[in-house]
Amino acid sequence: MYKIDGKDLSEYGAIPSKSDGMTALSGVMSLPKRTGTTEYDWGTSIEPFVDAEDIELDGRKLTLCVTIKADDTELLSKIEAFKNACISCTSLTNDFGTFQVIQKYEITVTKYVGVALITVPFWEQNYVVATNDIKPSNSGSYMLDEYDLFKDFGISMSSSNGINNTSERIDVSTTLPYMATAYRSAMDLSLTCKMFGESLANLYQKITKFEALCISPGTHQIKCKNTSRTIYFKDGIDVKVEANTVLSFDLKCRVIQ
């Protein structure tokens, strides 16, 4: 079910087209990045800005793909009517909810005989963070804070390369060569993950609650088997729908210890 300002796509002769292989509206599973300054280099340590008032999120792009079929005498007029509806659109609805959007990017139309494929990127300026009401398991080999990634969220980590690395030293500008090596900078870490669920609706509920945990105030502890690091999140999470029961994403975080 997809609606533009409360009107079903069928009213425009538009049929949802699976842009990412599974859904016609991509981006609704993703977490936008943080905006503003996220950390400060004191020369001897890196201070992350992770208080509630420090965490401001950017908007995110939601891309709708549709197909319009008609004979050549009606196709162009249907395309124009649909594009005009998208340009004036302020709310976009699917089975997961209603999102407040504007249409500010290029609309692309690929036209064939009797059919047109249309891609419409919308912008959701005010991302609404979900409520994480999942009770943590408090144990496990792969964890974020008190949550077992697989038991609590259905997340399997296929790669944790880099978690045992040491970040480069903090460089300080001095008149003489700076020789201290004890003070280390923050380090970017990317963990390759898949999330498994019972359905797309179930995956949407779990990924949005997991993202709420990631963006919650304070630093977090990531544990991969016997290694634990202090982290925070700033880059967002770009989620791909691989199947009705599988999502994939790279969990990007900033290691500060």
For residue 248, give its domain range: 142-255
pLDDT of residue 19: 66
Total Cβ atoms within 10 A of residue 227: 10
Let me know whether 19 and 120 are in one domain: yes
Task: Give how far Cα 160 sits from Cα of 18, 146, 195, 238, 250, Å.
Answer: 31, 19, 15, 17, 10
- The reply to whether 134 falls in a domain is no
- The reply to whether 132 falls in a domain is no
Select from 102, 107, 108 the least CA-distant residue to 123: 102
| Mean pLDDT within 61-65 | 96
pLDDT of residue 69: 95
pLDDT of residue 14: 96
| Mean pLDDT within 134-159 | 95
pLDDT of residue 10: 94
Let me know whether 52 and 108 are in one domain: yes
pLDDT of residue 21: 61
pLDDT of residue 123: 98
Per the DSSP assignment, residues forming a β-bridge with 25 are 64
- The reply to whether 71 falls in a domain is yes
Let me know whether 27 and 65 are in one domain: yes
Q: Which one is predicted more confidently, 223 or 184? A: 223
Give 127-141 pLDDT, tens digit per residue.
999 999 999 999 999
pLDDT of residue 160: 82
Tokens 């599973």 locate to: 29
Let me know whether 153 and 108 are in one domain: no
Over 70: is that where the pLDDT of 142 sits? yes
pLDDT of residue 126: 96
pLDDT of residue 45: 86
Tell if the pTM clears 0.85, that is, is over it. yes
| Mean pLDDT within 77-98 | 96
Let me know whether 15 and 120 are in one domain: yes
What is the band of 56 on the pLDDT scale with cuts at 50, 70, 90? very high
Let me know whether 58 and 164 are in one domain: no
- Indicate which CATH number applies to the domain containing 194: 2.40.30.200
Average pLDDT across the chain, whole number:
92
Lowest mean pLDDT among 25-29, 47-51, 194-198, 224-228: 224-228
Q: Which one is predicted more confidently, 175 or 236? A: 236
Let me know whether 56 and 90 are in one domain: yes
What is the band of 109 on the pLDDT scale with cuts at 50, 70, 90? very high
3-state SS record for 130-192? CCCCCCCCCCCCEEECCEEHHHHHCEEEEECCCCCCCCCECCCCCCCCCCCCCCECCEEEEEE
Select from 85, 65, 50 the least CA-distant residue to 17: 65
| The last residue of a domain, from among 61, 89, 124 | 124
Under a CB-based contact definition with an 8 Å cutoff, are residues 216 and 195 in contact? no
Over 90: is that where the pLDDT of 41 sits? no
| The last residue of a domain, from among 89, 124, 159 | 124
Give 166-201 pLDDT, tens digit per residue.
777 777 777 667 666 777 778 899 999 999 999 999
Q: Which one is predicted more confidently, 177 or 155? A: 155
Q: What CA–CA distance (Å, rounded) separates 107 from 193?
A: 32
